[in-house]
Amino acid sequence: MSEDYKRTYSQIDDWSDSRELLANARKQANQRNFDDVFIVDIDSHISDGGAWPEIMDLVEDPVIRDAASAFGDGSKRGAFLNHTPGLQWQNVWGRIPHGQGLKEPVEDTDVPRDVVLVRKSIDQMGLDYQVVFPNALLFLGMHPVPEMEVHLATAYNRWLVERILPEDPRIRAMLYLPFNNPEAAEATVKRFLGKPGVAGFLVTSSRHKPVHSNEYMRLYAMLEEAGQVLGFHTHLNWQDEYTSQLNRFISMHAISFVLCNLVHLTNWVINGLPERFPKLKVMWIESGIAWLSFAMQRLDHEYMMRTSEAPLLKKLPSEYMRDMFYTSQPMERSNEALLAATMEGISANSQMLYASDWPHWDFDLPSVIWDLPFLDENAKRNILGYNAARVFDLEIPERYSKVAAE
Amino acid sequence: MVELFVAKAGDIADRDRCVVVEGDLEIGVFRLGDDFFAWENNCPHMGGPVCQGKVMNRVNEVLDDGKKSHGFEFVEADVHIICPWHGFEFNIRTGVHPGEANTRLTQYEVVVRGEDIYVRT
Protein backbone atom coordinates (compact mmCIF):
# COMPACT_ATOMS: atom_id res chain seq x y z
CA MET A 1 0.00 0.00 0.00
CA SER A 2 1.24 3.46 -0.74
CA GLU A 3 2.82 4.86 2.41
CA ASP A 4 0.93 8.13 2.18
CA TYR A 5 -2.48 6.47 2.15
CA LYS A 6 -4.31 6.11 5.45
CA ARG A 7 -7.27 3.76 5.48
CA THR A 8 -10.69 5.05 6.45
CA TYR A 9 -12.58 1.76 6.95
CA SER A 10 -15.69 3.61 5.82
CA GLN A 11 -18.38 2.27 3.52
CA ILE A 12 -17.06 1.75 0.02
CA ASP A 13 -19.00 3.51 -2.69
CA ASP A 14 -18.54 4.55 -6.31
CA TRP A 15 -16.04 7.27 -5.38
CA SER A 16 -13.90 5.38 -2.85
CA ASP A 17 -10.14 5.37 -3.26
CA SER A 18 -9.17 2.07 -4.86
CA ARG A 19 -6.38 1.74 -2.30
CA GLU A 20 -9.12 1.47 0.34
CA LEU A 21 -11.07 -0.93 -1.83
CA LEU A 22 -7.99 -3.10 -2.45
CA ALA A 23 -6.47 -2.81 1.03
CA ASN A 24 -7.25 -6.46 1.72
CA ALA A 25 -5.51 -7.38 -1.54
CA ARG A 26 -2.35 -5.73 -0.23
CA LYS A 27 -2.82 -7.59 3.03
CA GLN A 28 -3.07 -10.87 1.11
CA ALA A 29 0.06 -9.98 -0.86
CA ASN A 30 1.96 -9.35 2.38
CA GLN A 31 0.70 -12.56 3.98
CA ARG A 32 1.80 -14.60 0.95
CA ASN A 33 5.01 -12.66 0.42
CA PHE A 34 4.04 -11.75 -3.13
CA ASP A 35 6.94 -9.31 -3.23
CA ASP A 36 8.99 -12.49 -3.78
CA VAL A 37 6.67 -13.78 -6.51
CA PHE A 38 6.88 -12.54 -10.10
CA ILE A 39 3.29 -11.71 -11.05
CA VAL A 40 1.91 -10.54 -14.36
CA ASP A 41 -1.73 -9.57 -14.80
CA ILE A 42 -2.55 -10.29 -18.43
CA ASP A 43 -5.96 -8.66 -18.53
CA SER A 44 -7.15 -5.58 -16.69
CA HIS A 45 -9.25 -2.71 -17.93
CA ILE A 46 -9.04 1.00 -18.33
CA SER A 47 -12.52 2.24 -17.60
CA ASP A 48 -12.21 6.00 -17.60
CA GLY A 49 -14.49 7.61 -20.15
CA GLY A 50 -13.08 10.95 -19.12
CA ALA A 51 -10.17 10.50 -21.53
CA TRP A 52 -12.47 9.92 -24.49
CA PRO A 53 -12.38 13.56 -25.72
CA GLU A 54 -8.56 13.37 -25.75
CA ILE A 55 -8.76 10.12 -27.68
CA MET A 56 -11.16 11.67 -30.19
CA ASP A 57 -8.52 14.29 -30.93
CA LEU A 58 -6.34 11.44 -32.23
CA VAL A 59 -8.90 10.27 -34.81
CA GLU A 60 -7.07 10.63 -38.10
CA ASP A 61 -9.99 11.23 -40.42
CA PRO A 62 -10.49 15.02 -40.19
CA VAL A 63 -14.23 14.85 -40.76
CA ILE A 64 -14.83 12.18 -38.14
CA ARG A 65 -12.50 13.98 -35.73
CA ASP A 66 -14.53 17.15 -36.18
CA ALA A 67 -17.82 15.29 -35.92
CA ALA A 68 -16.87 14.00 -32.44
CA SER A 69 -17.70 17.47 -31.16
CA ALA A 70 -21.35 16.77 -31.89
CA PHE A 71 -21.49 14.31 -28.98
CA GLY A 72 -21.73 14.86 -25.25
CA ASP A 73 -23.06 18.40 -25.49
CA GLY A 74 -19.90 19.36 -27.30
CA SER A 75 -17.56 17.58 -24.89
CA LYS A 76 -16.93 14.61 -27.25
CA ARG A 77 -17.55 12.26 -24.32
CA GLY A 78 -18.86 8.93 -25.55
CA ALA A 79 -18.61 9.99 -29.18
CA PHE A 80 -19.50 7.23 -31.66
CA LEU A 81 -19.45 4.45 -29.04
CA ASN A 82 -21.85 1.54 -29.39
CA HIS A 83 -22.05 0.31 -25.80
CA THR A 84 -24.86 -2.03 -24.94
CA PRO A 85 -26.97 -1.91 -21.79
CA GLY A 86 -25.03 -4.81 -20.31
CA LEU A 87 -22.14 -2.69 -19.17
CA GLN A 88 -24.46 -0.59 -17.06
CA TRP A 89 -25.66 -3.68 -15.21
CA GLN A 90 -22.29 -4.93 -14.06
CA ASN A 91 -22.47 -3.44 -10.57
CA VAL A 92 -25.48 -5.62 -9.63
CA TRP A 93 -27.62 -2.55 -9.20
CA GLY A 94 -25.30 -0.74 -6.83
CA ARG A 95 -23.97 -3.72 -4.89
CA ILE A 96 -20.47 -3.77 -6.47
CA PRO A 97 -19.46 -0.10 -6.84
CA HIS A 98 -16.32 -0.60 -8.98
CA GLY A 99 -18.38 -2.66 -11.44
CA GLN A 100 -19.48 0.61 -12.94
CA GLY A 101 -15.95 1.97 -13.28
CA LEU A 102 -13.62 3.74 -10.88
CA LYS A 103 -14.91 7.25 -10.18
CA GLU A 104 -12.46 8.22 -7.44
CA PRO A 105 -10.88 11.65 -7.54
CA VAL A 106 -7.24 11.64 -8.61
CA GLU A 107 -4.97 14.39 -7.34
CA ASP A 108 -1.83 13.54 -9.32
CA THR A 109 -2.19 15.41 -12.60
CA ASP A 110 1.39 14.86 -13.76
CA VAL A 111 0.34 11.69 -15.55
CA PRO A 112 -2.95 10.59 -17.13
CA ARG A 113 -5.62 9.57 -14.62
CA ASP A 114 -5.57 6.00 -15.92
CA VAL A 115 -1.88 5.67 -15.12
CA VAL A 116 -2.55 6.67 -11.51
CA LEU A 117 -5.34 4.11 -11.21
CA VAL A 118 -3.31 1.32 -12.80
CA ARG A 119 -0.38 2.06 -10.48
CA LYS A 120 -2.67 1.77 -7.47
CA SER A 121 -3.87 -1.67 -8.48
CA ILE A 122 -0.33 -2.81 -9.33
CA ASP A 123 0.86 -1.78 -5.88
CA GLN A 124 -2.09 -3.20 -3.95
CA MET A 125 -2.15 -6.55 -5.74
CA GLY A 126 1.62 -6.98 -5.73
CA LEU A 127 2.02 -7.09 -9.51
CA ASP A 128 5.12 -6.63 -11.66
CA TYR A 129 3.32 -5.94 -14.94
CA GLN A 130 -0.28 -5.20 -15.75
CA VAL A 131 -1.62 -5.54 -19.29
CA VAL A 132 -4.50 -3.14 -19.87
CA PHE A 133 -7.31 -3.06 -22.36
CA PRO A 134 -9.94 -0.33 -22.76
CA ASN A 135 -13.54 -1.00 -21.78
CA ALA A 136 -14.75 1.29 -24.51
CA LEU A 137 -13.55 -1.00 -27.28
CA LEU A 138 -14.89 -4.31 -26.00
CA PHE A 139 -18.04 -4.15 -28.11
CA LEU A 140 -16.58 -2.22 -31.02
CA GLY A 141 -16.60 -5.27 -33.30
CA MET A 142 -20.40 -4.99 -33.38
CA HIS A 143 -20.46 -1.33 -34.39
CA PRO A 144 -23.21 -0.71 -36.96
CA VAL A 145 -20.82 1.51 -38.92
CA PRO A 146 -17.99 -0.87 -39.82
CA GLU A 147 -15.44 1.83 -40.67
CA MET A 148 -15.94 3.36 -37.22
CA GLU A 149 -14.08 0.36 -35.78
CA VAL A 150 -10.96 1.48 -37.63
CA HIS A 151 -11.30 5.15 -36.69
CA LEU A 152 -11.85 4.56 -32.98
CA ALA A 153 -9.43 1.67 -32.57
CA THR A 154 -6.60 3.51 -34.28
CA ALA A 155 -7.16 6.59 -32.13
CA TYR A 156 -7.27 4.51 -28.97
CA ASN A 157 -4.18 2.50 -29.94
CA ARG A 158 -2.35 5.78 -30.55
CA TRP A 159 -3.47 7.15 -27.19
CA LEU A 160 -2.22 4.04 -25.42
CA VAL A 161 1.12 4.02 -27.23
CA GLU A 162 1.74 7.76 -27.12
CA ARG A 163 0.21 8.82 -23.79
CA ILE A 164 -0.15 5.84 -21.43
CA LEU A 165 2.53 3.22 -22.04
CA PRO A 166 5.51 5.63 -21.93
CA GLU A 167 4.59 6.66 -18.38
CA ASP A 168 5.39 3.39 -16.64
CA PRO A 169 7.25 0.30 -17.92
CA ARG A 170 5.05 -1.90 -15.73
CA ILE A 171 2.01 -0.99 -17.82
CA ARG A 172 1.62 -2.97 -21.05
CA ALA A 173 -1.17 -3.23 -23.58
CA MET A 174 -2.53 -5.62 -26.15
CA LEU A 175 -3.65 -3.41 -28.99
CA TYR A 176 -7.05 -3.62 -30.63
CA LEU A 177 -7.14 -5.17 -34.09
CA PRO A 178 -9.96 -3.73 -36.24
CA PHE A 179 -10.77 -7.25 -37.30
CA ASN A 180 -13.78 -6.46 -39.47
CA ASN A 181 -11.34 -4.85 -41.88
CA PRO A 182 -8.45 -7.32 -42.40
CA GLU A 183 -6.29 -4.80 -44.26
CA ALA A 184 -6.68 -2.29 -41.45
CA ALA A 185 -5.82 -5.02 -38.95
CA GLU A 186 -2.62 -5.75 -40.88
CA ALA A 187 -1.82 -2.05 -40.97
CA THR A 188 -2.31 -1.91 -37.19
CA VAL A 189 0.28 -4.63 -36.70
CA LYS A 190 2.74 -2.95 -39.07
CA ARG A 191 2.28 0.44 -37.44
CA PHE A 192 2.51 -0.50 -33.78
CA LEU A 193 4.67 -3.64 -33.74
CA GLY A 194 7.66 -3.10 -31.51
CA LYS A 195 6.44 0.10 -29.93
CA PRO A 196 7.43 0.25 -26.26
CA GLY A 197 4.86 -1.36 -24.03
CA VAL A 198 2.96 -3.16 -26.78
CA ALA A 199 2.54 -6.71 -25.49
CA GLY A 200 0.59 -8.17 -28.40
CA PHE A 201 -2.58 -7.78 -30.42
CA LEU A 202 -6.14 -8.57 -29.58
CA VAL A 203 -9.45 -9.34 -31.25
CA THR A 204 -12.62 -8.61 -29.28
CA SER A 205 -14.73 -11.72 -29.64
CA SER A 206 -18.19 -10.16 -29.90
CA ARG A 207 -18.36 -10.10 -33.68
CA HIS A 208 -19.80 -12.13 -36.52
CA LYS A 209 -16.82 -12.66 -38.81
CA PRO A 210 -15.55 -16.25 -38.79
CA VAL A 211 -11.92 -16.42 -37.74
CA HIS A 212 -11.11 -18.96 -40.45
CA SER A 213 -12.06 -16.64 -43.33
CA ASN A 214 -9.38 -16.63 -45.98
CA GLU A 215 -9.01 -12.87 -45.75
CA TYR A 216 -7.30 -13.24 -42.36
CA MET A 217 -4.49 -15.56 -43.42
CA ARG A 218 -2.03 -12.76 -44.17
CA LEU A 219 -2.71 -11.18 -40.76
CA TYR A 220 -2.09 -14.47 -38.97
CA ALA A 221 1.10 -15.01 -40.97
CA MET A 222 2.32 -11.55 -39.97
CA LEU A 223 1.67 -12.18 -36.29
CA GLU A 224 3.27 -15.59 -36.44
CA GLU A 225 6.33 -14.23 -38.20
CA ALA A 226 6.62 -11.44 -35.63
CA GLY A 227 6.25 -13.84 -32.70
CA GLN A 228 3.29 -11.86 -31.39
CA VAL A 229 0.42 -13.06 -29.25
CA LEU A 230 -3.03 -13.02 -30.86
CA GLY A 231 -5.62 -12.72 -28.11
CA PHE A 232 -9.34 -13.28 -28.36
CA HIS A 233 -10.99 -11.25 -25.63
CA THR A 234 -14.52 -12.24 -24.83
CA HIS A 235 -17.40 -9.87 -24.25
CA LEU A 236 -21.15 -9.91 -23.92
CA ASN A 237 -23.65 -9.84 -26.72
CA TRP A 238 -27.20 -9.62 -25.49
CA GLN A 239 -28.54 -9.14 -28.99
CA ASP A 240 -27.71 -12.55 -30.39
CA GLU A 241 -30.75 -14.64 -31.10
CA TYR A 242 -30.07 -17.14 -28.32
CA THR A 243 -28.73 -14.79 -25.67
CA SER A 244 -31.61 -12.39 -26.29
CA GLN A 245 -33.83 -14.94 -24.54
CA LEU A 246 -31.89 -14.56 -21.29
CA ASN A 247 -33.72 -12.13 -18.99
CA ARG A 248 -31.12 -11.72 -16.27
CA PHE A 249 -27.59 -10.33 -16.51
CA ILE A 250 -26.28 -13.34 -14.56
CA SER A 251 -27.61 -15.66 -17.27
CA MET A 252 -26.41 -13.57 -20.18
CA HIS A 253 -22.97 -13.04 -18.67
CA ALA A 254 -22.52 -16.71 -17.79
CA ILE A 255 -23.36 -17.82 -21.32
CA SER A 256 -22.42 -14.94 -23.61
CA PHE A 257 -18.91 -14.49 -22.28
CA VAL A 258 -18.20 -18.10 -23.19
CA LEU A 259 -20.29 -18.51 -26.31
CA CYS A 260 -18.34 -16.13 -28.55
CA ASN A 261 -14.99 -17.64 -27.70
CA LEU A 262 -16.42 -21.15 -27.94
CA VAL A 263 -17.49 -20.41 -31.52
CA HIS A 264 -14.17 -18.81 -32.47
CA LEU A 265 -12.09 -21.53 -30.84
CA THR A 266 -14.12 -24.24 -32.55
CA ASN A 267 -13.61 -22.59 -35.92
CA TRP A 268 -9.94 -22.07 -35.16
CA VAL A 269 -9.33 -25.74 -34.40
CA ILE A 270 -11.65 -27.49 -36.84
CA ASN A 271 -10.43 -25.39 -39.77
CA GLY A 272 -6.89 -26.42 -38.99
CA LEU A 273 -5.48 -23.00 -38.22
CA PRO A 274 -3.05 -24.50 -35.68
CA GLU A 275 -1.64 -26.58 -38.56
CA ARG A 276 -1.48 -23.58 -40.87
CA PHE A 277 0.18 -21.33 -38.27
CA PRO A 278 1.88 -23.71 -35.86
CA LYS A 279 4.01 -21.04 -34.20
CA LEU A 280 1.28 -18.45 -33.76
CA LYS A 281 0.64 -17.86 -30.06
CA VAL A 282 -3.14 -17.83 -29.63
CA MET A 283 -4.68 -16.81 -26.32
CA TRP A 284 -8.28 -17.00 -25.10
CA ILE A 285 -9.07 -14.25 -22.63
CA GLU A 286 -11.77 -13.81 -19.95
CA SER A 287 -14.00 -16.75 -20.70
CA GLY A 288 -12.95 -18.55 -17.53
CA ILE A 289 -11.75 -22.12 -17.87
CA ALA A 290 -14.71 -24.42 -17.11
CA TRP A 291 -15.79 -24.32 -20.77
CA LEU A 292 -12.50 -25.81 -21.92
CA SER A 293 -13.07 -29.32 -20.58
CA PHE A 294 -16.43 -29.33 -22.37
CA ALA A 295 -14.90 -28.11 -25.64
CA MET A 296 -12.04 -30.61 -25.51
CA GLN A 297 -14.25 -33.62 -24.91
CA ARG A 298 -16.99 -32.54 -27.27
CA LEU A 299 -14.71 -31.74 -30.19
CA ASP A 300 -12.62 -34.90 -29.70
CA HIS A 301 -15.78 -37.00 -29.54
CA GLU A 302 -17.17 -35.65 -32.78
CA TYR A 303 -13.84 -35.43 -34.57
CA MET A 304 -13.32 -39.18 -34.28
CA MET A 305 -16.58 -39.78 -36.18
CA ARG A 306 -16.37 -36.90 -38.66
CA THR A 307 -12.65 -36.68 -39.36
CA SER A 308 -13.33 -35.99 -43.04
CA GLU A 309 -14.82 -32.62 -42.11
CA ALA A 310 -11.59 -31.50 -40.48
CA PRO A 311 -8.96 -32.88 -42.84
CA LEU A 312 -6.21 -30.43 -41.88
CA LEU A 313 -6.03 -31.86 -38.38
CA LYS A 314 -3.25 -34.33 -37.60
CA LYS A 315 -4.19 -34.92 -34.01
CA LEU A 316 -7.16 -34.55 -31.69
CA PRO A 317 -8.76 -31.11 -31.24
CA SER A 318 -7.92 -31.26 -27.54
CA GLU A 319 -4.24 -31.69 -28.38
CA TYR A 320 -4.29 -28.46 -30.38
CA MET A 321 -6.13 -26.81 -27.51
CA ARG A 322 -3.34 -27.84 -25.18
CA ASP A 323 -0.92 -25.85 -27.33
CA MET A 324 -2.93 -22.64 -26.94
CA PHE A 325 -2.96 -20.22 -24.01
CA TYR A 326 -5.72 -19.31 -21.59
CA THR A 327 -6.11 -16.56 -19.05
CA SER A 328 -7.36 -17.69 -15.67
CA GLN A 329 -10.18 -15.29 -14.93
CA PRO A 330 -12.98 -15.70 -13.97
CA MET A 331 -11.79 -18.90 -12.36
CA GLU A 332 -14.82 -21.08 -11.64
CA ARG A 333 -13.88 -22.92 -8.47
CA SER A 334 -17.02 -24.08 -6.67
CA ASN A 335 -16.02 -27.68 -7.49
CA GLU A 336 -12.33 -28.11 -6.81
CA ALA A 337 -12.10 -31.55 -8.44
CA LEU A 338 -13.56 -30.26 -11.70
CA LEU A 339 -11.25 -27.26 -11.61
CA ALA A 340 -8.20 -29.45 -11.04
CA ALA A 341 -9.21 -31.75 -13.90
CA THR A 342 -9.73 -28.84 -16.25
CA MET A 343 -6.39 -27.30 -15.38
CA GLU A 344 -4.72 -30.63 -15.96
CA GLY A 345 -6.60 -30.97 -19.25
CA ILE A 346 -5.31 -27.69 -20.64
CA SER A 347 -1.78 -28.16 -19.25
CA ALA A 348 -2.26 -25.10 -17.09
CA ASN A 349 1.25 -25.39 -15.73
CA SER A 350 2.59 -24.07 -19.02
CA GLN A 351 -0.52 -22.71 -20.82
CA MET A 352 -2.46 -20.70 -18.23
CA LEU A 353 -1.72 -17.07 -17.44
CA TYR A 354 -3.09 -15.18 -14.46
CA ALA A 355 -5.49 -12.32 -15.22
CA SER A 356 -7.32 -10.07 -12.77
CA ASP A 357 -9.92 -8.35 -14.98
CA TRP A 358 -9.70 -5.49 -12.48
CA PRO A 359 -11.77 -3.35 -11.98
CA HIS A 360 -14.63 -5.41 -13.33
CA TRP A 361 -17.19 -6.92 -11.00
CA ASP A 362 -15.85 -10.49 -11.13
CA PHE A 363 -12.12 -9.73 -10.79
CA ASP A 364 -9.68 -12.31 -9.40
CA LEU A 365 -6.70 -11.59 -7.18
CA PRO A 366 -3.37 -13.45 -7.45
CA SER A 367 -4.33 -15.30 -4.26
CA VAL A 368 -6.94 -17.21 -6.29
CA ILE A 369 -4.04 -19.01 -8.00
CA TRP A 370 -1.66 -19.04 -5.04
CA ASP A 371 -4.20 -20.66 -2.69
CA LEU A 372 -5.15 -23.56 -4.98
CA PRO A 373 -4.34 -26.64 -2.87
CA PHE A 374 -3.66 -29.00 -5.77
CA LEU A 375 -0.92 -26.94 -7.44
CA ASP A 376 2.74 -27.12 -6.48
CA GLU A 377 4.68 -23.92 -6.04
CA ASN A 378 6.34 -24.10 -9.44
CA ALA A 379 2.95 -24.32 -11.15
CA LYS A 380 1.67 -21.38 -9.13
CA ARG A 381 4.68 -19.27 -10.07
CA ASN A 382 4.35 -20.28 -13.73
CA ILE A 383 0.69 -19.32 -13.91
CA LEU A 384 1.17 -16.10 -11.97
CA GLY A 385 4.10 -14.81 -13.97
CA TYR A 386 6.66 -17.02 -15.67
CA ASN A 387 4.31 -18.26 -18.39
CA ALA A 388 3.55 -14.65 -19.25
CA ALA A 389 7.24 -13.77 -19.28
CA ARG A 390 7.87 -16.60 -21.74
CA VAL A 391 4.89 -15.94 -24.01
CA PHE A 392 5.20 -12.14 -24.07
CA ASP A 393 8.99 -12.04 -23.78
CA LEU A 394 8.84 -9.91 -20.63
CA GLU A 395 11.93 -9.00 -18.68
CA ILE A 396 11.94 -10.59 -15.22
CA PRO A 397 13.35 -8.28 -12.54
CA GLU A 398 16.65 -9.50 -11.14
CA ARG A 399 15.32 -9.76 -7.59
CA TYR A 400 13.45 -12.91 -8.51
CA SER A 401 16.14 -15.49 -8.01
CA LYS A 402 13.87 -18.46 -8.27
CA VAL A 403 12.88 -19.36 -11.82
CA ALA A 404 10.08 -21.85 -12.18
CA ALA A 405 10.46 -24.85 -14.43
CA GLU A 406 8.41 -24.75 -17.59
CA MET B 1 -9.45 -12.31 25.24
CA VAL B 2 -9.34 -8.63 24.39
CA GLU B 3 -12.30 -6.30 24.61
CA LEU B 4 -12.22 -3.47 22.08
CA PHE B 5 -14.29 -0.36 22.47
CA VAL B 6 -16.29 0.15 19.29
CA ALA B 7 -18.45 3.25 19.73
CA LYS B 8 -21.27 4.77 21.73
CA ALA B 9 -24.49 3.04 20.74
CA GLY B 10 -25.93 6.32 19.55
CA ASP B 11 -23.02 6.82 17.21
CA ILE B 12 -23.96 3.83 15.05
CA ALA B 13 -27.12 4.47 13.06
CA ASP B 14 -29.68 1.78 12.37
CA ARG B 15 -28.55 -0.39 9.41
CA ASP B 16 -25.06 1.05 9.64
CA ARG B 17 -21.74 -0.26 10.91
CA CYS B 18 -18.49 0.73 12.49
CA VAL B 19 -15.23 -1.06 11.65
CA VAL B 20 -12.66 -1.43 14.43
CA VAL B 21 -9.09 -2.63 13.98
CA GLU B 22 -6.78 -4.60 16.25
CA GLY B 23 -3.50 -5.44 14.53
CA ASP B 24 -4.38 -7.35 11.38
CA LEU B 25 -7.89 -8.11 12.62
CA GLU B 26 -10.73 -5.92 11.34
CA ILE B 27 -14.24 -6.30 12.75
CA GLY B 28 -17.42 -4.64 11.55
CA VAL B 29 -20.07 -4.01 14.23
CA PHE B 30 -23.54 -3.56 12.77
CA ARG B 31 -26.69 -2.13 14.30
CA LEU B 32 -30.17 -3.36 13.45
CA GLY B 33 -32.66 -1.61 15.70
CA ASP B 34 -31.45 -2.22 19.25
CA ASP B 35 -29.37 -5.25 18.28
CA PHE B 36 -25.65 -5.31 17.47
CA PHE B 37 -23.73 -7.92 15.48
CA ALA B 38 -20.00 -8.24 14.88
CA TRP B 39 -18.42 -9.89 11.86
CA GLU B 40 -14.87 -10.09 10.56
CA ASN B 41 -14.19 -7.66 7.74
CA ASN B 42 -12.96 -10.51 5.56
CA CYS B 43 -15.25 -12.11 2.99
CA PRO B 44 -15.06 -15.93 2.89
CA HIS B 45 -15.13 -15.75 -0.91
CA MET B 46 -11.89 -13.91 -1.68
CA GLY B 47 -11.07 -11.88 1.39
CA GLY B 48 -12.86 -8.68 0.45
CA PRO B 49 -13.76 -5.92 2.92
CA VAL B 50 -17.27 -7.26 3.35
CA CYS B 51 -18.17 -5.04 6.30
CA GLN B 52 -17.49 -1.92 4.24
CA GLY B 53 -20.15 -2.82 1.69
CA LYS B 54 -23.66 -1.66 1.06
CA VAL B 55 -26.55 -2.69 3.33
CA MET B 56 -29.62 -3.87 1.43
CA ASN B 57 -32.57 -6.13 2.10
CA ARG B 58 -32.81 -9.61 0.69
CA VAL B 59 -34.51 -9.84 -2.70
CA ASN B 60 -37.35 -12.26 -3.27
CA GLU B 61 -39.18 -13.19 -6.46
CA VAL B 62 -42.94 -12.98 -6.19
CA LEU B 63 -44.96 -15.96 -7.45
CA ASP B 64 -48.73 -16.24 -7.45
CA ASP B 65 -50.73 -19.39 -6.75
CA GLY B 66 -50.33 -20.43 -10.35
CA LYS B 67 -46.50 -20.22 -10.02
CA LYS B 68 -46.43 -17.22 -12.33
CA SER B 69 -43.72 -14.68 -11.64
CA HIS B 70 -44.64 -11.11 -10.75
CA GLY B 71 -41.19 -9.57 -10.34
CA PHE B 72 -39.12 -8.81 -7.29
CA GLU B 73 -39.66 -7.55 -3.77
CA PHE B 74 -37.43 -6.60 -0.86
CA VAL B 75 -37.83 -8.69 2.30
CA GLU B 76 -37.86 -6.22 5.18
CA ALA B 77 -36.94 -8.80 7.82
CA ASP B 78 -33.73 -9.91 6.13
CA VAL B 79 -31.07 -7.24 6.09
CA HIS B 80 -27.88 -8.05 4.21
CA ILE B 81 -24.35 -6.74 4.13
CA ILE B 82 -22.92 -7.03 0.62
CA CYS B 83 -19.21 -7.45 -0.05
CA PRO B 84 -18.15 -4.61 -2.34
CA TRP B 85 -15.58 -6.78 -4.12
CA HIS B 86 -17.91 -9.31 -5.76
CA GLY B 87 -21.39 -8.89 -4.33
CA PHE B 88 -21.49 -11.84 -1.91
CA GLU B 89 -24.41 -11.14 0.44
CA PHE B 90 -24.71 -12.14 4.09
CA ASN B 91 -27.59 -11.85 6.53
CA ILE B 92 -26.44 -9.36 9.18
CA ARG B 93 -28.19 -11.28 11.97
CA THR B 94 -26.84 -14.73 11.05
CA GLY B 95 -23.77 -14.07 8.90
CA VAL B 96 -25.04 -16.67 6.43
CA HIS B 97 -25.05 -16.33 2.62
CA PRO B 98 -28.67 -16.48 1.39
CA GLY B 99 -27.89 -18.94 -1.38
CA GLU B 100 -25.42 -21.30 0.27
CA ALA B 101 -25.68 -21.92 4.01
CA ASN B 102 -22.09 -23.12 4.44
CA THR B 103 -20.73 -19.79 3.23
CA ARG B 104 -20.74 -17.56 6.28
CA LEU B 105 -18.93 -14.76 8.02
CA THR B 106 -16.75 -15.16 11.10
CA GLN B 107 -18.56 -13.88 14.16
CA TYR B 108 -17.32 -12.02 17.22
CA GLU B 109 -19.09 -11.38 20.49
CA VAL B 110 -20.60 -7.97 21.11
CA VAL B 111 -20.83 -6.61 24.65
CA VAL B 112 -23.16 -3.72 25.45
CA ARG B 113 -22.53 -1.82 28.68
CA GLY B 114 -24.94 1.02 28.96
CA GLU B 115 -24.25 3.19 25.97
CA ASP B 116 -20.85 1.66 25.26
CA ILE B 117 -20.42 -1.03 22.60
CA TYR B 118 -17.47 -3.42 22.84
CA VAL B 119 -16.39 -6.41 20.81
CA ARG B 120 -14.42 -9.37 22.17
CA THR B 121 -11.57 -10.81 20.11
A132 domain residue, yes or no: yes
Q: In the predicted model, is pLDDT for residue A208 greater than 50? A: yes
Q: What's residue A85's pLDDT?
A: 60
How would DSSP label each residue in A31-69? HTTGGGS--EEEEEEE--GGGHHHHHTT-SSHHHHHHGG
Q: What's residue A405's pLDDT?
A: 44
Q: Is A125 on the interface with B (CB under 8 A)?
A: no
Q: In the predicted model, is pLDDT for residue A48 greater than 70? A: no
3-state helix, strand, coil in chain A (%, to 5): 50, 10, 40
A12 domain residue, yes or no: no
Q: What's the structural domain count of chain A? A: 1
Q: How do residues A275-327 score in pLDDT, each as one tens digit?
A: 999 999 999 999 999 999 999 999 999 999 999 999 999 999 999 999 999 99
A14 domain residue, yes or no: no
H/E element, B20: strand B17-22
Amino acid identity, position A37 = V
Can you give the CATH number for the domain in which A52 is found? 3.20.20.140
Chain A residues close to B53, C-beta within 8 Å: 11-12, 95
Mean per-residue pLDDT, A218-236: 97
CATH number of B3-54+81-120: 3.30.110.40, 3.40.190.290, 2.102.10.10, 3.90.1300.10?
A: 2.102.10.10
Asked which of A67-81, A98-112, A251-265, B3-17 is least confident by mean pLDDT, the reply is A98-112
Q: What's residue A83's pLDDT?
A: 80
Mutate: best of A96, A124, A328, A358, partner B, most B CBs <10 A: A96
Q: How do residues A318-370 score in pLDDT, each as one tens digit?
A: 999 999 999 999 999 999 999 999 999 999 999 999 999 999 999 999 999 99
Paired sense of beta strands A171-176 and A129-134, if any: parallel
- Chain B residue closest in CA terms to A29: B47
How would DSSP label each residue in A332-377? --SSHHHHHHHHHHTTHHHHEE----TTSTT---THHHHT-TTS-H
Task: Provide the residue ranges of all domains of chain B, joining segments of one domain with +.
Answer: 3-54+81-120
A56 domain residue, yes or no: yes
- Chain B residue closest in CA terms to A8: B19
A398 domain residue, yes or no: no
Mutate: best of B11, B27, B42, B46, partner A, most A CBs <10 A: B46
Q: What's residue A198's pLDDT?
A: 98
Chain B residues close to A368, C-beta within 8 Å: 46
**What count of CB pairs under 8 Å joins A to B?**
60
Q: How do residues B35-93 score in pLDDT, each as one tens digit?
A: 999 999 999 999 999 999 999 999 999 999 999 999 999 999 999 999 999 999 999 99
Contact criterion met (CB < 8 Å) for B86 and A365: no
Q: Is A111 on the interface with B (CB under 8 A)?
A: no
Q: What's residue A402's pLDDT?
A: 53
A401 domain residue, yes or no: no
Mean per-residue pLDDT, A198-226: 97
Q: What's residue A343's pLDDT?
A: 98
> Residue A131, Cβ neighbours under 10 Å: how many?
28
In terms of C-beta density within 10 A (0-12 exposed, 13-18 middle, 19 or more buried), how is residue A284 classed? buried
CB-based contacts of A173, cutoff 8 Å, min separation 6: A131, A132, A133, A160, A161, A164, A165, A197, A198, A199
A81 domain residue, yes or no: yes
Q: Which domain holds residue A135?
A: 25-392
Mean per-residue pLDDT, A374-402: 94
Beta bridge partners of A156: none
Residues 367-406 of A with CB under 8 A from B: 367-368
Q: How do residues A75-85 score in pLDDT, each as one tens digit?
A: 999 999 988 76
Per the prediction, chain B carries an average pLDDT of 97
- Chain B residue closest in CA terms to A362: B86
Q: What is the ipTM of this complex?
A: 0.95
